[in-house]
Structure 1
Amino acid sequence: MPDLLSFDADRIRAMLPHRWPMLLLDRAFDVDPGRSGSGIKNVTVSEPFFAGHFPAQSVMPGVLLIESMAQLVAVIYGAQHPQDGSGGAAERVGYLGAIRQMKFSRLVVPGDQLLLHARLGTKFGALTEVSVRASVGSEIAAKGSLIVSERPGADAA
Structure 2
Amino acid sequence: MTLLPASKPLALPMDCQALVPHRGPMLLIDRLLSCQDKGGCVEARVVESNPFVDANGELEPLVTVELMAQAFAALKGYADLASGAEPSKGLLVSVRKVAASGRARVGDVLTINLAVKGEFDGFTVVEGEVRKNDKLLAAGSLKLWIPGRESVEEKP
Q: TM-score, normalised by structure 2?
A: 0.81
Which of 36, 41, 44 is the equivalent residue of 1:38?
Answer: 41
Aligned length: 146
Query: Following the alignment from structure 1 to structure 2, what is the Cα–Cα distance between the partners of residues 5 and 71?
Result: 20
Residues 1:156 and 1:46: Cα distance change in structure 2 (over 3 Å): closer
Asked if the contact 1:40/1:115 (under 8 Å) is kept, the reply is: yes
Amino acid at match of 1:37: G
Which of 83, 86, 89 is the equivalent residue of 1:88?
Answer: 86
Q: How does 1:7-156 map to 2 (within 5 A)?
A: 7-9=13-15, 12-32=16-36, 35-50=38-53, 53=54, 55=55, 57-82=56-81, 88-89=86-87, 92-153=88-149
Amino acid at match of 2:57: S
Q: Give me the CA root mean square deviation.
A: 2.6
Residues 1:98 and 1:156: Cα distance change in structure 2 (over 3 Å): closer
Please list every run of 5 or more consecutive structure 1 residues that lacks an aligned counterpart in the other structure. Answer: none
Q: TM-score, normalised by structure 1?
A: 0.80
Asked if the contact 2:112/2:130 (under 8 Å) is kept, the reply is: yes
Asked if the contact 1:133/1:140 (under 8 Å) is kept, the reply is: yes
Query: Following the alignment from structure 1 to structure 2, what is the Cα–Cα distance between the partners of residues 147 and 17?
Result: 18
Question: CA shift at 1:147, angstroms?
Answer: 0.3
SS in 2 for 1:88: coil
Query: Following the alignment from structure 1 to structure 2, what is the Cα–Cα distance between the partners of residues 40 and 82?
Result: 19
Query: Following the alignment from structure 2 to structure 1, what is the Cα–Cα distance between the partners of residues 59 and 116?
Result: 25
Asked if the contact 2:61/2:102 (under 8 Å) is kept, the reply is: no
Query: Following the alignment from structure 1 to structure 2, what is the Cα–Cα distance between the partners of residues 46 and 88?
Result: 28
Cα shift readout 1:57-100 (whole Å, capped 9, x = no counterpart): 23212332211111110121222223688x701xx221001011
Question: CA shift at 1:152, angstroms?
Answer: 4.0
Asked if the contact 2:91/2:146 (under 8 Å) is kept, the reply is: yes
Query: Following the alignment from structure 1 to structure 2, what is the Cα–Cα distance between the partners of residues 122 and 102?
Result: 18
Residues 1:83 and 1:123: Cα distance change in structure 2 (over 3 Å): closer
